[in-house]
Amino acid sequence: MGVLKNVVNSVVGIAKGHKVTLKEMLRPTVTVMYPQERLDLPVGSRGIPVLLSDEQGNLLCTSCGVCERECPVQVIHIVSHRGEDKRKVLDEFDIDMSRCMFCGICAEVCAFGAIAMSDQYELDDFEQGDLIYHKDQLAAIGRTQRTPITNYGIKTEVGVLDQVRAGRASAAQTAAAPATSTPSSEGSRSE
Amino acid sequence: MLVDWVASLYQSVQATFVAHGWPLWVLAVLTAVLKVAGVLVWILLNVLFLIWLERKISGHVQNRPGPVYTGRFGLLQTLADALKVLLKEDVIPAGADRWVFVLAPLVAFVPSVMIWVVIPFSRGVQAQDLNIGILYVAALASFTVPSLLMAGWSSDNKWSLMGALRSAAQLISYEVPLILAELGVVVLAGSLRLSDIIAAQQRSVWFLFLQPVGFVVYFIAALAESNRTPFDLPEAESELVAGFNTEYSGFRWSIFFLTEYANLLGMASLAATLFLGGWSGPFLPPFVWFVIKTYFFVFLAMWIRWTLPRIRVDQLMDLGWKFLLPVALVNLVVTGVFVVL
Amino acid sequence: MALDTHSERRTETLEIPGSDLPRTEEMMVNMGPQHPSTHGVLRAVLTLDGERIVDVDSDVGYLHRCFEKICEQQNYPQIIPYTDRTDYLAGMTNELALVLTVEKAIGLEVPRRAQYIRTIMAELQRIHSHLIWFGTFALDMGATTPFLYSFRERETISDFFEEITGARMMYNYMRYGGVRNDITSEWVKKVQAFLKRFPENLQEYDDLFTGNPIVHARTQGIGKISAEQAIAYGASGPVLRATGVPYDIRRADPYLVYDELQFDIATASEGDVWARYQVRMQEMRQSVRMLEQLLAGVPEGEIMGKAPRIIKVPAGHYYGHVDSPRGEVGCYLVSTGERTPYRLHWRSPCFVHLQLLPLMAKGHLMADMVAIIGSIDIVMGEVDR
C-alpha cells in the first residue's frame, strides 16, 4: 500500500503544480514592452550625474573640486582658472560615463547642490570618446530639470539625452569642417 | 467532399492511364511523390505553428507575452528564426567525425516524417494503410537512438557524448512500456492496422475509457520518447550544456529542432488515433476532429513541459523499468483476460 | 570539533554513496567557466565515472577584481559602493558589514530610526536574494517557470529599493552613522501591502515546486554534510542551519534592532539539498514576519548620526560581521589611523561554502552536482571579490 500512497501523493503534487501554471497562463502578462513603454522612475533614481544651473542659466558649480576628489572611480575631470574677481571660473567639467558607476557620491558631497543624479540612463553611443560628457552637455541636461532635488536626484525632460547627443554630433561636424587637419575621432572631443 | 473528389480524380487519371496504355508504375510513383510532398508540407507547417505555440504557451505560463513583434501575434517569428538559422555559418568541429556528424540530423529527421505514412488524417486519407501499422510506428521510433548516438559520438565533445549515452539508455527503456501500452489497444481492437483501431473505437467507445492505465503509460513513455521535459535528459540544458546537439549549429541544429517537434506531433496524433478515436467525431468534419484531438495532446505536453522540473537519469530508469513496465504488463494481462472472457 | 580538516575529509570519503557500484574508466570534464548552471564563472573540474562524480576540483578566480586591494586606496565613504559589488545580489548586507565595523571602530552612535531602516532594508534584501536563489535553483533543476515567478516578486522589491536608495542593485545606501535617504510613510504602506500578498506567492511556489515529487526525489539525501563537517569547514548561514545548528548572527551577536524582534531561526536537520531548500523558504517567511514588526514600529527621528566629516579609524584591528542571505559576511579591518584602511579582508560565505563542494558532491551524479551548486547559493562575485 506504501507504493500506492506514494503514487497518489506524487500525482497530487504534480497536479497542484499544473493548477498553478494554468492559473498563471490565464492571467494578464506583467511585461513592460520596454522601448515602447517605459516605467516611471521614482525621483532620486540614479541615472547619469548632471550639472544644475540657476534661473539665469548660470552653472551652480564653483569648481571647488570636492566631487573630483571624492569620486571612487575618478571619472570627473575639472579644469578651472581664477577670474578677474579672484573667483574660480569653470573651464572644463568632464565625466567619463563609460566608467561612472552611478554611486551618487558626487551629488552627495557637493555643498552647493550643483550636481544631481538625473533620470537619463540610455548611454549607447558609437564612439568610446563620445561617452565622455562635457560641461555644456551636462548642463544642457541639467537645465531641463522638472522636479526639485529629492534624494540627490532630479527628473529631466524625456529624450533630452538624445537631443544633447544629436547636438554634439552636428556641432562636431561644423567644428571639424574648417579644421580638416584634426582627426575626426578627436574632433568631437576637443570642442 | 474533398476526399471523394480526390478519389474520383485519382480514378479518372487511372482510367486515362489505362486507356492510353501508359505504364501504371508511373502513376504509382507520381502519387507517392505527391503523398510525400503533402506529408512534408503538413509537418513543416505544423512545426512552424507548434514552435510559435510553444513559445506563446511558455510565455503566458510565465506571465510574459512571448513573441509579439514579427507578424500578427508574432506568428511569423518562427519563419524569421528559420531564415536566420539557415543563413548561419555551417560549422563542423575540427575533431568531429565528419560523415557521421553530417548524417546524424538526417537519420533523426527521416523517421519522424515516415511515421506519417500510416497516420489516418480522415476517412480514407492515409498515405498507406499498412496492416502492421503499429509495428511500423514502433520500429521507426527506435531510429531516434542511433541518430542521437551518432550526433553525440561524432561531435567529439564530452557533453555531447554524455547526452547521447543518456538518450540511448532512456529511449531503450521507454520503448518497452510504450509498445506494451500500445498492445493493450491492439488487443482490444484485434488488429495492428490503425484504420481498424479507429473503426473499433467507433463501434464501442474511445479506448481512453477502456484503457486508462494504458493511456497514462503511453503518454509518459511517449513524452520520454520525444525527449520533452521532464524527460529531456539527452539535452538537459542546465546539466549537459545542450547534450547531444552542443556542437550543432545553424541548419543542422534546426533539423534536430524540427525533428523534436515533428516527433511531438507524431506522438500526439498517434495518441489521438489510439485513444481518442482518431478522426471520428460528430458534427465537425473528420479532419478537424483529428486536428483538435492532436492539438489537445500537444497542449498537454507543452503544459507539462513548462510546469515540471527535470527528472534525474537513474530515477528515469527506475520509473521506466520498475514502475511503467510492470504496470503496462499488468494492464496488458488484464486486458487480455477481459477480451478472452 | 576536529581542527584537522584533512583527516576529517579522508574518513568521510570512505562512505560516499555509490562506492559499491562497479567502476569504469574515469573521464575528466570541465564544468564551467562557461556553463549554464555554474552561477557565473565557477569552473569545476569533475572526474566522472560514467555519470557518477569521483572527484571535484573547484577552480575560482575568474571574476577577481582586486576588491580588497582597491579598498586600501579608497577613503572610507568611497569603499561603500564597492562592497555592493562583491555579493551583487545582497548589496545591503554587505554595506552593513562594512558600516557596522567602522562605526564600532570609531564609536559612532546611530539614531534609532536609521537602525530600523537598516534592518528593514537588510530583511527586504534577504527576501530579494532568496527569490533569485529560488528561481535559479528551479532553473538548475530544469523547471523554467518558477524563475519567472520569483523574478516577478523580486521586481517589486527592486522597485522599493529604487524608490528609496535610487538603485535596484548597487544601492550605496548605508552611511557611517546612518543611511543616505529617509523612507516615507507611502513607501511603508506599499511595502506592507506587498508583505500582505507575498505569502500567497510563496504558497504558489510551494504548490508549483516544493510539493513536486520530482523535486523531492532529486533533493532528498543529495549533497549531505554533517553538522561537524559544516562547522569544521566554517560554514554559516543557511548551509550551516540546514545541518541542524541554530547559529544565526542575528541572534548570536545581535546587531541593529534584531534583539527586539520576534523571529525563529529556520533550521533543518538533514544537511542535504532539500534541507537547505527548506531553510531558505522558511527564512523568507521569517523575514516577512520581521518586516511586519519593523514597519509597524519605525520611530521618528534623524536618519544620520553625528558622523565626522572626514572619517579616520583609530589604529587597530576590527572585525564586524552580519548574517547575509548567504551566510556570515565578515569585514576584517586593519587601520593605521589614516583616511584609508591599511588592509581590509572580506570574509565571503560563498568562498567558504565552495570548499564544501567536493564533500557534498562525491559519489553523486552529474545532475546532482547542479542541484548542489544551486543549493549552496554561490555568487561568484563574492567568491572571487
Question: Under CATH, which number does the domain A49-175 receive?
Answer: 3.30.70.3270
On whether any CB of chain A is under 8 Å from the CB of C212, the answer is yes
The pLDDT tens digits for C311-323 are 888 888 999 999 9
pLDDT above 50 for A174: no
In this prediction, residue C127 carries a pLDDT of 92
In this prediction, residue A1 carries a pLDDT of 64
Task: Write the residue in B57, B60, B307 that is nearest to A18 by C-beta.
Answer: B307
Q: Which of A49-53, B242-246, C377-381 has the lowest mean pLDDT?
A: B242-246
In this prediction, residue C16 carries a pLDDT of 60
- Report residue A172's pLDDT band, with 50, 70 and 90 as the boundaries: very low
State percent of chain B over pLDDT 90. 0
Residues of A within 8 A of C211 (CB-CB) are: 12-13, 16-17
Angstrom distance (rounded) from CA B113 to CA B265: 10
Using alpha carbons only, what angle is made at residue B326 by residues B322 and B327, rounded to the nearest 5 degrees? 110
Angstrom distance (rounded) from CA B85 to CA B73: 21
Angstrom distance (rounded) from CA C195 to CA C157: 10
In this prediction, residue A176 carries a pLDDT of 42
In this prediction, residue C36 carries a pLDDT of 81
In this prediction, residue C17 carries a pLDDT of 64
On whether any CB of chain C is under 8 Å from the CB of B206, the answer is no
Task: Write the residue in A17, A30, A70 that is nearest to C208 by C-beta.
Answer: A17
Residues of B within 8 A of C212 (CB-CB) are: 308-309
Q: Which of A162-166, B172-176, B248-252 has the lowest mean pLDDT?
A: A162-166
In this prediction, residue C18 carries a pLDDT of 64
pLDDT above 70 for C139: yes
Task: Write the residue in C51, C144, C152 that is nearest to B313 by C-beta.
Answer: C51
Angstrom distance (rounded) from CA A26 to CA B61: 8
Q: Could you tell me the sign of the dihedral formed by the alpha carbons of C331, C334, C340, C346, in that order?
A: negative
In 3D space, the residue among B58, C55, C126 whose CA is nearest the CA of residue B66 turns out to be B58
pLDDT above 50 for C4: no
Q: Which of A1-10, B104-113, C81-90 has the lowest mean pLDDT?
A: A1-10
Average pLDDT, stretch B37-45? 83
Q: What is the 3-state secondary structure (H, E, C) of C64-112?
A: CCCHHHHHCCCCHHHHHHHHHCCCCCCHHHHHHHHHHHHHHHHCCCCCH
In this prediction, residue A169 carries a pLDDT of 52
Burial of residue A141, with CB atoms counted within 10 A of its CB: 0-12 exposed, 13-18 middle, 19 or more buried:
buried
Q: Considering just the CA atoms, what is the radius of gyration of chain C in Å? A: 21
pLDDT above 50 for B242: yes
Residues of C within 8 A of B58 (CB-CB) are: 144-145
pLDDT above 80 for B52: yes
Q: What are phi and psi of C336, to 5 degrees?
A: -115, 20
Please give the mean pLDDT across all residues of chain A.
79
The pLDDT tens digits for C270-286 are 888 999 999 999 999 99
Burial of residue C218, with CB atoms counted within 10 A of its CB: 0-12 exposed, 13-18 middle, 19 or more buried:
buried
In this prediction, residue C279 carries a pLDDT of 92
**DSSP secondary structure of B237-287:** HHHHTTGGGSS--HHHHHHHHHHHHHHHHHHHHHHHHHHS-TT--SSS-HH
Say how many Å lie between the first and final Cα of chain C, rounded: 29
In this prediction, residue B43 carries a pLDDT of 83
Q: Which domain holds residue C318?
A: 67-384
Angstrom distance (rounded) from CA C365 to CA B13: 63
Q: Considering just the CA atoms, what is the radius of gyration of chain B in Å? A: 21
Average pLDDT, stretch A159-167? 78
Q: What is the 3-state secondary structure (H, E, C) of chain C?
A: CCCCHHHHHHHHHCCCCCCCCCCCCEEEEEECCCCCCCCCCCEEEEEEECCEEEEEEEECCCCCCCHHHHHCCCCHHHHHHHHHCCCCCCHHHHHHHHHHHHHHHHCCCCCHHHHHHHHHHHHHHHHHHHHHHHHHHHHHCCCCHHHHHHHHHHHHHHHHHHHHHCCCCCCCCEECCEECCCCCHHHHHHHHHHHHHHHHHHHHHHHHHHCCHHHHHHHCCCCCCCHHHHHHCCCCHHHHHCCCCCCCHHHHCCCCCHHHCCCCCCCCCCCCHHHHHHHHHHHHHHHHHHHHHHHHCCCCCCCECCCCCCCCCCCEEEEEEEEECCEEEEEEEEECCCCCCCEEEEECHHHHHHCCHHHHHCCCEHHHHHHHHHHHCCCHHHHHC
Place of cell 561554502: C353
β-strands C316-324, C327-335 pairing:
antiparallel
On whether any CB of chain B is under 8 Å from the CB of C352, the answer is no
Average pLDDT, stretch C19-32? 76
pLDDT above 80 for A173: no
The pLDDT tens digits for C250-261 are 888 888 888 888
Using alpha carbons only, what angle is made at residue C214 by residues C212 and C219, rounded to the nearest 5 degrees? 100
- Report residue C13's pLDDT band, with 50, 70 and 90 as the boundaries: very low
Q: Which of B160-174, B199-213, C182-196 has the lowest mean pLDDT?
A: B199-213
Q: Are C92 and C171 in contact (CB under 8 A)?
A: yes
- Domain extents for chain A? 49-175
Angstrom distance (rounded) from CA C237 to CA C230: 11
Residues of A within 8 A of B302 (CB-CB) are: none
- The CATH number of the domain holding residue C242 is 1.10.645.10
In this prediction, residue C128 carries a pLDDT of 92
Inter-chain contact C217–B311, Cβ cutoff 8 Å? yes
On whether any CB of chain C is under 8 Å from the CB of B322, the answer is no
**DSSP secondary structure of B211-242:** -HHHHHHHHHHHHHHTT-TTS-TTT-HHHHTT
On whether any CB of chain B is under 8 Å from the CB of C38, the answer is no
In this prediction, residue B2 carries a pLDDT of 66
**Is 0.85 exceeded by the ipTM?**
no
Q: Are B194 and B273 in contact (CB under 8 A)?
A: yes
On whether any CB of chain C is under 8 Å from the CB of B307, the answer is yes
The pLDDT tens digits for B57-91 are 888 888 888 888 887 888 888 888 888 888 888 88
Q: Give the bridge partners for C318, in sequence order.
A: C333
The pLDDT tens digits for A131-157 are 888 888 888 888 888 888 888 888 888
Residues of B within 8 A of C369 (CB-CB) are: 239
Q: Are B179 and B133 in contact (CB under 8 A)?
A: no
Q: Are C353 and C235 in contact (CB under 8 A)?
A: yes
The pLDDT tens digits for C230-251 are 888 888 889 999 988 888 888 8
| Helices (H) then strands (E): counts for chain A | 6, 5
Q: Are C223 and C368 in contact (CB under 8 A)?
A: yes
| Bond from prior residue into B146 cis (ω within 30 degrees of 0) | no
- Report residue A64's pLDDT band, with 50, 70 and 90 as the boundaries: confident
- Report residue A178's pLDDT band, with 50, 70 and 90 as the boundaries: very low
Distance from CA of C367 to the nearest CA of B (A): 6
In this prediction, residue C12 carries a pLDDT of 46
Q: Are C20 and C340 in contact (CB under 8 A)?
A: no
The pLDDT tens digits for A95-132 are 988 889 888 888 888 888 888 888 888 888 888 888 88
In this prediction, residue C312 carries a pLDDT of 85
Inter-chain contact C36–B159, Cβ cutoff 8 Å? no
User: A46-71 burial by CB neighbour count: b if 16+ within 10 A, else e?
Assistant: bbbbbbbbeeeeebbbbbbebbbebb
Using alpha carbons only, what angle is made at residue C114 by residues C124 and A45, rounded to the nearest 5 degrees? 60
Residues of A within 8 A of B63 (CB-CB) are: 24, 27, 29-31
On whether any CB of chain A is under 8 Å from the CB of C203, the answer is no
- Report residue A187's pLDDT band, with 50, 70 and 90 as the boundaries: very low
- Report residue C131's pLDDT band, with 50, 70 and 90 as the boundaries: very high
pLDDT above 50 for C1: no
Q: Are C383 and C348 in contact (CB under 8 A)?
A: yes
Subunits with 3+ Cβ pairs within 8 Å of A are B, C
Using alpha carbons only, what angle is made at residue C283 by residues C281 and C284, rounded to the nearest 5 degrees? 70
pLDDT above 80 for B305: yes
In this prediction, residue B201 carries a pLDDT of 80
Domain count, chain C: 1
In 3D space, the residue among B230, A83, A60, B278 whose CA is nearest the CA of residue C145 turns out to be B230
State percent of chain B over pLDDT 70. 97
Structure-block grid coordinates of residue A110: 557637493
In 3D space, the residue among A100, A120, A116 whose CA is nearest the CA of residue A38 turns out to be A120
The pLDDT tens digits for A4-50 are 888 888 888 888 888 888 888 888 888 888 888 888 888 888 888 88
Task: Write the residue in C141, C152, C369 that is nearest to B310 by C-beta.
Answer: C141
Burial of residue B35, with CB atoms counted within 10 A of its CB: 0-12 exposed, 13-18 middle, 19 or more buried:
middle
Q: What are phi and psi of A67, to 5 degrees?
A: -60, -40
pLDDT above 50 for C108: yes
- Domain extents for chain B? 88-340
Q: What are phi and psi of A84, to 5 degrees?
A: -65, -35
Long-range contacts of B171-175 (CB under 8 A, 24+ apart): B171/B142, B171/B144, B171/B145, B171/B224, B171/B225, B172/B145, B173/B316, B173/B317, B173/B320, B173/B321, B174/B221, B174/B224, B174/B225, B174/B231, B174/B320, B174/B324, B175/B138, B175/B141, B175/B142, B175/B221, B175/B225
Task: Write the residue in A13, A14, A46 that is nearest to C166 by C-beta.
Answer: A46
Distance from CA of C178 to the nearest CA of B (A): 39
